[in-house]
């Protein structure tokens, strides 16, 4: 804490978030990656507090993020010299103009081509676009057909109603994706329901056209339904009926070991390294130091490594991951950056979206052999 600050001057994370226009989840994320540390953290509760002098930096962080600047570039503007900051901003402005021009042309082309109520114990309404986004984000973690034959329940997406929190969950036992939504309105108690994975693309496309989606759990606990303003309905099943109990994702999250390293990296750059980096087929070895993130073949040491700018905190923990596990997590995330939280080379890697604190993916790494653990 700054010597000029006293505990009397400090603000809790909620009031400070409102003051600077950032969500509390965003402030926690910026603390985790070292961009905006709180002035004080209570040793007993972990509660974060902020000092008045931090307002200017927090507002600048918000403005840089609103402009879409990756954190690896935002830190240059925040902490680098003015000349380098100007260069970074000018380069980003050029990228934004090019992206906007491409999007405008694509949309223009697409536009040219386009010449009964059941009793319920719980009713929860969510924003239609957010519901569509949540389904599309978790869908890549649904189990493939082979795994569904052994565990049919893994072929469904869990929808959990818990007060004003709505959680959408999918897992194939190697990946776990969780998206949290804030309900628009709530009536009745909680519920655990599932949606057939095969319906997800059609339901997501439909939800985009609805101002709100209503999630209803039936009074007999056998299931429920989704409905919208257009009268369309989609069936939901109880999470504990028919195909076995849905896995306890809460226990998985609670059982994660302490994080030893956090890595913030440009999401697009990491994706390009995996897809276009000319690396040999097979698992990839990732290792981050204060010099950046190295992505290389886990099977052939030194074969075509790709070096990426990154913000790494904690001790270096090399880990290996299959591209077909890593890529869906990157593609489902939102914003220019992702945060990788690594505990151990054999433990799940937590992949969080920098711009959407409510979306988390767990991905199982490939165990590194002794020759690659360097």
Within 13 Å, how many C-alpha atoms sit on residue 110's CB side? 6
- What phi and psi, each to the nearest 5 degrees, are found at residue 248? -80, 90
> Are 140 and 111 in a shared domain?
no
> Are 238 and 266 in a shared domain?
no
Domain containing residue 324: CATH number: 3.10.150.10
> Are 133 and 229 in a shared domain?
yes
| Structure-block tokens of residue 364 | 């199982």
CA distance 257 to 228: 41
**pLDDT for position 358:** 79
The CA–CA distances, whole Å, from 53 to 64, 71, 113, 224 equal: 18, 21, 53, 51
> Are 125 and 235 in a shared domain?
yes
**pLDDT for position 357:** 67
**Number of domains observed in the structure of the chain:** 3
> Are 124 and 244 in a shared domain?
yes
**pLDDT for position 366:** 87
CA distance 139 to 105: 29
CA distance 213 to 370: 51
Check if the beta carbon of residue 361 is closer than 8 Å to that of residue 141.
Answer: yes
> Are 57 and 177 in a shared domain?
no
- Residue 2: domain span: 1-115
- What phi and psi, each to the nearest 5 degrees, are found at residue 75? -65, -30
Last residue of a domain, one of 94, 115, 136: 115
What is the end-to-end Cα distance of the chain in Å, rounded?
A: 36
Residue given tokens 């489902």 in the structure block: 332
Q: What is the pLDDT along the chain (374 residues), one digit of tens a residue?
A: 444 455 668 999 999 999 999 889 889 989 988 899 999 998 888 899 999 999 999 999 999 988 888 888 898 999 988 888 988 898 888 888 777 766 765 675 566 556 444 445 788 999 999 999 999 999 988 888 777 777 888 889 999 998 888 999 999 888 899 999 888 888 888 889 999 888 999 999 999 999 999 999 876 656 889 998 888 999 998 887 666 678 888 888 888 899 999 999 999 899 988 887 667 678 889 999 988 999 888 766 555 688 999 999 999 999 999 888 898 888 888 778 889 999 999 999 999 876 666 788 998 898 765 544 44
| Structure-block tokens of residue 92 | 């980003």
Last residue of a domain, one of 229, 252, 275: 252
| Structure-block tokens of residue 356 | 């959407």
> Are 282 and 356 in a shared domain?
yes
CA distance 298 to 303: 9
Contacts of 84 (CB under 8 A, 6+ apart): 76
**pLDDT for position 116:** 44
Domain containing residue 82: CATH number: 1.10.1660.10
């Amino acid at each position: 804490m700054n010597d000029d600050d006293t505990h009397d001057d400090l603000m809790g994370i909620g009031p400070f978030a409102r003051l600077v226009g950032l969500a509390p989840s965003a402030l926690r994320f910026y603390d985790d990656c070292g961009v905006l540390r709180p002035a004080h953290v209570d040793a007993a509760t972990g509660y974060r507090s902020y000092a008045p002098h931090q307002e200017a930096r927090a507002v600048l962080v918000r403005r840089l993020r609103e402009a879409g600047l990756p954190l690896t570039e935002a830190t240059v503007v925040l902490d680098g010299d003015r000349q380098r900051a100007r260069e970074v901003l000018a380069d980003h402005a050029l990228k934004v103009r090019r992206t906007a021009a491409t999007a405008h042309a694509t949309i223009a082309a697409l536009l040219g081509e386009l010449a009964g109520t059941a009793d319920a114990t719980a009713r929860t309404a969510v924003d239609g676009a957010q519901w569509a986004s949540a389904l599309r984000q978790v869908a890549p973690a649904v189990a493939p057909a082979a795994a569904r034959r052994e565990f049919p329940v893994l072929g469904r997406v869990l929808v959990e109603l818990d007060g004003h929190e709505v959680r959408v969950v999918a897992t194939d036992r190697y990946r776990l994706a969780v998206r949290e939504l804030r309900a628009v309105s709530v009536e009745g108690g909680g519920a655990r329901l599932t949606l057939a994975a095969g319906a997800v693309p059609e339901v997501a496309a439909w939800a985009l056209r609805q101002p709100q989606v209503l999630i209803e759990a039936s009074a007999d606990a056998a299931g429920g339904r989704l409905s919208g303003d257009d009268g369309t309905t989609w069936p939901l099943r109880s999470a504990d009926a028919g195909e076995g109990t849905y896995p306890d994702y809460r226990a998985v999250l609670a059982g994660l070991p302490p994080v030893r390293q956090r890595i913030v990296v440009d999401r697009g750059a990491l994706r390009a390294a995996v897809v276009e980096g000319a690396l040999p087929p097979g698992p990839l070895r990732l290792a981050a130091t204060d010099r950046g993130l190295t992505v290389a073949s886990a099977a052939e040491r030194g074969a075509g490594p790709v070096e990426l700018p990154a913000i790494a905190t904690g001790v270096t923990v090399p880990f290996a991951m299959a591209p077909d596990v890593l890529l869906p997590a990157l593609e489902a995330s939102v914003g220019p950056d992702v945060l990788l939280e690594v505990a151990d080379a054999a433990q799940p890697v937590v992949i969080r979206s920098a711009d959407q604190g409510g979306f988390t993916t767990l991905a199982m790494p490939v165990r590194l052999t002794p020759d690659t653990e360097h």
